[in-house]
């Protein structure tokens, strides 16, 4: 009886060993095949960081002016209105070019021909004529001559000045932007040093940088004192340009 139990125990033991070996081989296949089981654990690197915003701004005199001149003519037919506005607009453009502007500084921005109506109560609108309008844009750095240009254009046939705007030329804006960008970075570095030094810390490297810039759009400005030898006074005044940077520093002990 005991001998029978011993044989049964030996068989069960052998079966258990075989199952363990099979499980081990299966695990090895899983690891080798898909790498879906990992026995190693990696620790995430945690860095101490500080975010600082640096800024810089300046007041600058615009070096570019944009003037819009509009010619408007009325006639009984659209073709007649167009012919009249063509003659007047050609006079305005040729006058501007004779004043020293280049073709690159003068640009047509709109040309319209539309009917003019009269409205009476209880009756459909009636066309009483046609209006043709033409607008030309002057964009130049000759701000000192702006008053004279306006006077000459009006005398040549421009019916009204649609707008006067000041802006920075691309060259001047880029130069100013580079200077402000360097000053904004220096401002951020000074702030970081002032904050970390009393704490016994320092910046070790820059992790990321983002930039926010303010580009001034063309703006109109009323003049209140003489600025041109001819025509109405045109004063550019000043405008503000600003740049800010957000810098993320990795910090550590001094």
Q: What domain range is 29 assigned to?
A: 1-42
Q: Are residues 246 and 128 in the same domain?
A: no
Alpha carbon distances (Å) from 174 to 16, 56, 171, 230 = 80, 15, 5, 32
Contact 244, 57 (CB under 8 A): no
Same domain for 116 and 161, yes or no, is yes
The HSE-up count of residue 100 (CA atoms within 13 Å, CB side) is: 9
> 55 and 175 share a domain?
yes
- How many C-beta neighbours within 10 Å does residue 236 have? 20
Do residues 212 and 126 both lie within one domain? no
> Is 229 part of a structural domain of the chain?
no
Residue 225: the pLDDT is 36
Report if residue 216 sits inside a domain. Answer: yes
> Would you state the pLDDT for residue 159?
96
Tell me the pLDDT tens digit for each residue of 210-243: 998 776 655 555 443 334 456 788 888 888 889 9
CATH number at residue 188: 3.30.110.170
147 & 218 share domain: no
Sheet order of strands, 106-118 included = 106-118, 126-140, 64-75, 160-167
Residue 51: which residues within 8 A CB-CB, separation 6 or more? 246, 247, 248, 249
Tokens at 32, concatenated: 């080798």
Low-confidence ranges of the chain (pLDDT < 50): 1-5, 7-42, 222-228
List pLDDT tens digits, range 82-102: 999 999 999 999 999 999 999
175 by DSSP, 3-state: which? Answer: helix
- Whether residue 162 contacts residue 69, with contact meaning beta carbons closer than 8 Å, is answered with yes
Place of tokens 């006067």: 164
Pure H helices in the chain:
2-33, 78-98, 146-156, 170-196
Tell me: do 3 and 85 sit in the same domain.
no
> 65, exposed or middle or buried, with CB in 10 Å at 0-12, 13-18, 19+?
buried
- 161 shares its domain with 207: no
H/E run at residue 159: none
pLDDT, residue 15, reads: 42
**What is the average pLDDT score of the chain?**
82
Instruction: Count how many residues are written for the chain.
Output: 254
Q: Give every CB contact of residue 107 below 8 A, 6+ residues apart in sequence.
A: 136, 137, 139
């Amino acid at each position: 009886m005991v001998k029978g139990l011993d044989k049964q125990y030996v068989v069960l033991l052998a079966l258990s060993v075989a199952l363990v070996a099979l499980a081990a081989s299966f695990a090895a296949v899983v690891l080798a095949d898909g790498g879906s089981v990992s026995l190693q654990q990696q620790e995430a690197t945690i860095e101490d960081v500080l975010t600082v915003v640096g800024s810089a701004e300046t007041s600058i005199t615009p070096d570019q002016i944009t003037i819009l001149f509009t010619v408007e003519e009325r006639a009984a037919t659209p073709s007649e209105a167009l012919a009249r506005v063509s003659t007047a607009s050609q006079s305005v453009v040729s006058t501007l070019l004779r004043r020293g502007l280049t073709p690159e500084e003068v640009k047509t921005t709109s040309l319209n021909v539309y009917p003019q109506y009269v409205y009476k109560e209880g009756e459909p609108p009636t066309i009483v004529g046609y209006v043709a309008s033409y607008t030309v844009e002057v964009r130049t750095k000759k701000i000192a001559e702006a008053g004279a240009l306006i006077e000459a254009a009006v005398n040549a046939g421009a019916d009204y000045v649609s707008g006067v705007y000041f802006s920075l030329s691309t060259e001047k804006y880029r130069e100013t932007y580079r200077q402000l960008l360097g000053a904004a970075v220096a401002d951020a570095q000074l702030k970081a040093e002032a904050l970390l030094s009393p704490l016994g810390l320092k910046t070790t490297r820059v992790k990321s940088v983002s930039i926010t810039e303010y580009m001034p759009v063309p703006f109109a400005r009323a003049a209140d004192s003489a600025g041109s030898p001819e025509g109405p006074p045109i004063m550019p005044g000043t405008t503000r340009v600003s740049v800010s940077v957000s810098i993320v520093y990795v910090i550590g002990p001094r």
